[in-house]
């Protein structure tokens, strides 16, 4: 008789576990026919064999006069212990209770020297019960030689390919429908296939590649990826600007853009309302958009950037220009402003996509009004110091004050006189 079970082997003399935990095993019991002795009789020797993944050939235990103990108190819970005298080992068995009970009854019959149908197993040649192959869920490749020649298992949920000078992400990877985590850090990728955008990944690590070389962001327009992705690492890719489609990744919680060459972050970053960790250390940021304060960030790392002081000249000319412009506000912008100001609910079925985009991405003035069709003259660079009242963990270089860029909606803005007064004080 053979059963599929989990067995932990304990040596009673040393108290050492031969297997640190229970491992999937096959336990077999049966008679071994020995050669005829000098009288011409064959002797039947009762044996138990334990097959484990470590000992595939099986460990053989004599049964007759060799049982030290059999604990069956928890057999209904599917647990039992069989102890042998030689070697002094206890087998701690976990198994389906009915099968275990049958196995222990067979052992009892065998010990009593009875013949039972369950004992008619040629124990000399028996092998382990083949276990159903578990679907492979994870794969890690750290050497080129480990790259699978025959393709990837379709069942993969997590795939890691690090530091193997990979030049191209294969189309096949983009078709692994079960994949949720992909880590291809430390390679030589300059482009990601558009098809990757169709995978519902939750975690994507692209650190240490060269995606800033081509700046091909088509893959970020994939509808599935933009809905599902929670964690994105684009650090050390030579990025000179923030990839524009990234502001639509509304599920993002962690975004790592460390060690790039970013000069600004877009105002539209305010769309990332789930973002909690933003890493932009070691870039070339001169300022942050005021929109950062509208997010709910717990951790902001802006260490090692080029934050410059208050931009007096730019502020002065911009204030003058803002005062000089006076164009009527188009109706659609007024409509969008009302929806935004009153936080009215909207969806793709109630509003045109272009207005949704405007409401969720357009910069907001200090007064809270949506602005649109902005030219550089409306952007007041490096004029206020953000308060960051929500951020629990802020990392920045002490020698630099952080400045933020603000938008002013026009000379009639309620915040305008205040701002102008501030400039006058600073300028004079």
Minimum CB separation of residue 407 from Zn ion in Å reads 8
Judged by beta carbon, residue 327 or residue 428, the one nearer Zn ion is 327
Query: Sign of torsion, CA 348 354 355 360?
Result: positive
The 79-108 site mask, x for binding Zn ion (CB under 5 A), equals ------------------------------
Q: Which stretch binds Zn ion (CB under 5 A): 250-258, 359-367, 389-397, 418-426?
A: 359-367
Compute how many residues bind Zn ion; rule: CB under 5 A: 5
Among 365, 383, 391, 402, binds Zn ion (CB under 5 A): 365
Tell me the HSE value of 391 on the side-chain side, using a 13 A CA sphere.
20
Judged by beta carbon, residue 89 or residue 378, the one nearer Zn ion is 378
Judged by beta carbon, residue 119 or residue 408, the one nearer Zn ion is 408
Minimum CB separation of residue 314 from Zn ion in Å reads 19
Distance CA 34, CA 299 (A): 73
DSSP 293: G
Distance CA 119, CA 124 (A): 12
Distance CA 100, CA 80 (A): 8
Nearest to 389 by CA among 275, 303, 297: 297
Nearest to 190 by CA among 174, 169, 173: 169
Q: Which long-range contacts (CB under 8 A, 24 or more apart) does 144-151 make?
A: none
**Binding of residue 367 to Zn ion (CB under 5 A):** yes
CA angle 262, 266, 270 (to 5 degrees): 130
Judged by beta carbon, residue 4 or residue 367, the one nearer Zn ion is 367
- Both tokens of 320, joined, read 């003058």
Among 369, 380, 391, 403, binds Zn ion (CB under 5 A): 369
**Binding of residue 182 to Zn ion (CB under 5 A):** no
Minimum CB separation of residue 264 from Zn ion in Å reads 21
Tokens 């138990």 belong to which residue? 48
DSSP 296: -
Minimum CB separation of residue 410 from Zn ion in Å reads 7
Residues from 386 through 415 that contact Zn ion (CB under 5 A): 409, 413
**Binding of residue 63 to Zn ion (CB under 5 A):** no
Minimum CB separation of residue 411 from Zn ion in Å reads 10
Minimum CB separation of residue 162 from Zn ion in Å reads 48
- Both tokens of 282, joined, read 């070691």
Binding site for Zn ion (CB under 5 A): 365, 367, 369, 409, 413
């Amino acid at each position: 008789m053979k059963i599929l079970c989990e067995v932990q082997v304990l040596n009673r003399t040393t108290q050492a576990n031969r297997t640190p935990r229970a491992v999937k095993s096959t336990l077999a019991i049966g008679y071994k026919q020995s050669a005829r002795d000098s009288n011409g009789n064959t002797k039947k020797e009762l044996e138990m064999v334990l097959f484990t993944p470590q000992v595939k050939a099986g460990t053989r235990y004599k049964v007759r006069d060799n049982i030290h103990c059999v604990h069956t108190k928890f057999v209904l819970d599917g647990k039992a212990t069989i102890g042998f005298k030689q070697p002094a080992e206890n087998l701690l068995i976990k198994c389906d209770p009915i099968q275990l009970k049958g196995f222990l009854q067979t052992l009892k019959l065998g010990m009593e020297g009875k013949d039972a149908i369950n004992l008619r197993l040629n124990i000399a040649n028996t092998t382990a019960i083949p276990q159903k192959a578990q679907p492979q869920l994870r794969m890690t490749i750290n050497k080129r030689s480990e790259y699978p020649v025959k393709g990837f298992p379709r069942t993969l949920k997590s795939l890691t390919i690090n530091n193997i000078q990979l030049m191209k992400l294969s189309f096949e990877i983009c078709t692994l429908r079960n994949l949720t985590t992909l880590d291809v850090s430390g390679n030589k990728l300059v482009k990601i296939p558009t098809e990757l955008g169709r995978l519902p990944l939750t975690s994507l690590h692209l650190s240490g590649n060269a995606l800033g070389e081509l700046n091909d962001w088509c893959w970020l327009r994939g509808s599935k990826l933009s809905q599902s992705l929670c964690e994105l690492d684009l650090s050390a890719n030579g990025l000179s600007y923030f990839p524009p489609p990234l502001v639509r990744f509304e599920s993002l919680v962690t975004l790592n853009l460390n060690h790039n060459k970013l000069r600004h972050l877009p105002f539209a970053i305010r769309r990332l309302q789930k973002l909690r960790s933003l890493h932009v250390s070691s870039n070339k940021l001169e300022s942050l958009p005021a929109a950062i304060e509208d997010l709910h960030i717990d951790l902001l790392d802006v260490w090692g950037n080029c934050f410059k002081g208050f931009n007096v000249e730019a502020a002065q000319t911009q204030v003058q220009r803002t005062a000089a412009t006076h164009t009527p506000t188009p109706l659609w912008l007024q409509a969008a402003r009302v929806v935004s100001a009153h936080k009215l609910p909207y969806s793709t079925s109630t509003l045109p996509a272009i207005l949704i985009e405007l409401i969720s991405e357009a910069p907001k003035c200090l007064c809270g009004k949506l602005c649109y069709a902005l030219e550089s003259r409306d952007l007041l660079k490096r004029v206020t110091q953000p308060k960051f009242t929500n951020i629990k963990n802020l990392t920045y270089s002490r020698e630099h004050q952080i400045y933020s860029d603000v938008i002013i909606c026009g000379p009639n803005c309620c915040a305008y006189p205040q701002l102008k007064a501030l400039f006058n004080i600073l300028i004079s």
